[in-house]
Structure 1
Amino acid sequence: MMEIGEIVRLLAQGAESLARELLPGGRREGREWVAGDLAGSPGRGVSVCIAGPKAGIWGDFSAGLHGDALDLVAVCRFGGNKTEALKWARGWLGLGEARSGGRAPAPPPPRPRDVEGERREAEQRRQKGRGLWAAGVPIPGTPAEVYLAGRGISLEALGRAPNVLRFNARTWCTERGAAHPAMVALIQDQGFTIGAHRTFLAPDGRGKARIKAAKKVLGATDGGLIPLWRGASDKPLKDAPEGDTIAIAEGIEDALTIALHCPEWRVVACVSIGNMAKLTLPPTIMDVRLCFDRDGENPAVRTARERAIDRYMREGRSVFAMQPAEGFKDFNEEHQAALRGRRGAA
């Protein structure tokens, strides 16, 4: 019987073909295959290395999961059952029991890239994302405001609603196969819209929609950010004056929580920890606050954090890493707990 390590190695050799099969809604970006989730939806929640010495290594940063090619088969097809994944992998590689002692056949060759087709698809997703946002309405008075209030984020306390956020009552939800209410945010790279972030909501805004992936991206996220708060200067990011401090959080709710507590700072959301090191900041901003969650404490997340710190320090900026207090997964959770404590004391 062929050793598991050898099967993992063979799967890694055919990592691109494997990723295409397991995550059909994904797309190739350089040496990675990216998808929205482990169900294979479009987006950028999951990344699989498909070339080089780390081929087959993958991570789902939102869920704090990672592993090798066989682990990917297990979570995508068999609910984490590696015994069943191993059987499937042997079949996919063409390793019948009678042949398992011989030389394994080469894995299927990767499909040739359609670069122009990928470019057209990316532009279509970007346009759809922009259209979703444009078709929405400002969030005051909508279920999106109710949702944020439920997370302890008061638009009245902020003083204004971020223009980058809108509410669209009829946002297409692939998981539901129907239109669904969502809070929609523009994702921008140096002022240019590259995608849209959707938070699917309960119809009345009291929480997120009860679906597997309530947060999804349409378009790109690489190098993109959601500019939620302009801070004391109140100027666009590209025109940020010297002396501005920028806080970079992963999610929208965390970023708005930080804006509540430090309104003098400029605050952006980078969508995912893997994207935090990829933002292009104007040279006038020298003070960078990296706001890390406490969930997903695994090697891939630690590496992403280190990359972010190293990136902005190499640019000569002052970098300060922040985390919520022990026992809280993010700043918003800590903020909500503090609000409950104040209400209880009253």
Structure 2
Amino acid sequence: MDNPVRELARRLGENAEAVCRHYLSNGRREGHYWMVGDINNAAGRSLYVRLVGGEGGRLAGKWTDAATGDHGDLLDMIAVNCAHANLGETIAEARRFLSLPPSNADTQGPCPLRSRRARAGSAEAAVRLWAASKPIAGTPVRTYLASRALRRGGDLPALRCHPHCYYRRSEEDGTSVKPAYPAMIAAVTDLEGSLRGVHRTWLDPARSTKADVAYPRRAMGHLLGNGVRFGLAGEVMAFGEGIETMLSLREIAPTLPLVAGLSAAHLAALAFPAPLRRLYVARDRDAAGLAAFGAIVERASSVRIDVRPLDPRLDDFNSDLVRIGRQGMTAWVRRQMQPCDAAHFLAD
């Protein structure tokens, strides 16, 4: 674009909050950002607009929609919000808002929206979705976890809530499936703690269950070798598949470092932290869980890590927690752990 138009975008950025209050009136300011549902002014928190400039050349007025990957400047936002057919209409509207006189640029021809979409399922899209989510206290995520008997305190930094997370409908979904639901967003991190992806669990807040969709769980980003972590790595740890499975162990062993691999295949490939010397593997009672355990044992033998299984009484540890209770589950797990580990990690 030519310099006059860039100058106009800069001036809009200098008045970013006023622009947002006018065109994105259903949002609100949170710190240095304006948060709203989308570029069409829906209620929510998916789209965020930077209100002040920052280090590294970050400019006020730049926006990102974490649910779709779209991003742009305030001229782009005005163009979509006002459904303009060409750039000239957008320039005229921006100059009117800024109380500037008309210019020759107002007669420019058509120009498409300049937003750029992060590749679906990419690590970049995962980072944006994580940034647009919030802590789980007081959200449908906390209610959902409580319904699964997961009530231990703490805000669980590895988990966040997105109140309006986009759901891509599949062929197996019915026509009643909505385009977005509240979702539990889990951070998938590497051994250094860097965010490499996210896992989404879409929820039905009216029933405190997973949403009634064909695929209520989906992950995106770089997952292989990485996982959802609860606690810092140590000499003794536990790996398992599902988030709820590992949080169930956290109910009875609150200080035991835990990692959820999210699937049997990813569980088998989880990277071993340097301090690890004894690893408990929470196995699901299926063929995939047994195969994952065998793969971990084979990998661990070359680095002298002692691998031991932790088997549930029922199909998984969350079923154990819900149906036999914390005391019964503790007694069952105690039989399978080394006495020193049971004494150190299991709650009384």
TM-score (norm 1): 0.55
What is the match of residue 209 of structure 2?
Answer: 207
| 1:311 Cα deviation after fit | 1.4
Whether 1:128 aligns to 2:122 is no
Alignment correspondent of 2:185: 184
Name 1:276's counterpart in structure 2. 267
Please state if 1:172 is matched with 2:160: no
Question: 1:314 is aligned with what amino acid?
Answer: S
Q: Which residue of 2 aligns with 1:224?
A: 226
3-state DSSP of counterpart to 1:201: strand
Structure 1's consecutive aligned runs of 4 or more residues displaced over 4 angstroms after TM superposition are none
Question: 1:140-174 deviations in whole A, cap 9, x for unaligned?
Answer: 111000000000000xxx23121010000111100
Change (3 A) 1:338 1:331: same
Q: Tell me the equivalent position of 2:141.
A: 144
Q: Distance in 2 between matches of 1:129 and 1:285?
A: 28
Q: Deviations over 1:60-97 (max 9, x none)?
A: xxxxxxxxxxxxxxxxxxxxxxxxxxxxxxxxxxxxxx
What is the rounded CA distance, in whole Å, between the counterparts of 1:332 and 1:287 in structure 2? 23
Write the mapping of 1:237-316 to structure 2, written as runs, cut at 5 A. 237=233, 240=234, 244-294=235-285, 297-298=286-287, 300-316=288-304
Kindly state the Cα deviation for residue 192 of structure 1 after the two structures are TM-superposed: 2.2
One of 317, 320, 324 as aligned partner of 1:331: 317
Q: Which has the bigger relative contact order, CA under 8 A and spacing at least 6?
A: 1
CA deviation vs aligned residue, 1:14-45 (integer Å, no higher than 9, x gap): xxxxxxxxxxxxxxxxxxxxxxxxxxxxxxxx
Is the CA contact 1:145–1:205 (under 8 Å) kept in the aligned structure 2?
A: no
Q: Residues 256 and 340 (structure 1 numbering): CA distance in 2 closer, same or farther, change over 3 Å?
A: closer
**Greater Rg, structure 1 or structure 2?**
2
SS in structure 2 at match of 1:130: helix
Q: Secondary structure at the match of 2:122?
A: helix
CA drift of 1:341 comes to 9.8
- Closer, same or farther in 2 for the Cα pair 1:308/1:169, shift >3 Å? same
CA 1:132–1:205: 2 relative to 1, 3 Å: farther
- Structure 2: stretches of 5+ with no match in the other structure: 1-117, 170-176, 329-348
Q: What SS class does the counterpart of residue 302 from structure 1 fall into? A: helix
Deviations 1:100-127 (A, max 9, x none): xxxxxxxxxxxxxxxxxxxx948x7211
Q: Name the CA shift for 1:132/1:224 in 2 (closer, same or farther; >3 Å).
A: same
- The equivalent of 2:15 in structure 1 is none
**Closer/same/farther in 2, CA of residues 256 and 219 from structure 1, 3 Å limit:** same
- Residue 257 of structure 1 aligns to a residue whose secondary structure is helix
Q: Distance in 2 between matches of 1:286 and 1:340?
A: 27
The counterpart of 2:308, out of the listed 315, 320, 323, is 320
- Counterpart CA distance in 2 for 1:215 and 1:321 is 26
> 1:195 touches 1:218 (CA, 8 Å); kept in 2?
yes
CA RMSD in angstroms, aligned pairs only = 2.1
Deviation at 1:301?
A: 4.5
| Matched position secondary structure for 1:310 | helix
Query: AA paired with 2:300?
Result: Y
- Alignment CA distance shift 1:164-1:178 (3 Å): same
Compute the TM-score of the two structures, normalised by the length of structure 2. Answer: 0.55
Contact kept in structure 2, 1:146 and 1:205, CA below 8 Å: no
* Whole-Å separation in 2 of the counterparts to 1:304 and 1:159: 31
Percent of aligned positions that are identical: 29
Contact 2:246 2:258 in 1 (8 A): yes
CA distance in 1, matches of 2:325, 2:208: 17
- Give SS of 1:303's match: helix
Q: 1:265 to 1:184 in 2, by over 3 A?
A: same
CA distance in 1, matches of 2:303, 2:188: 23
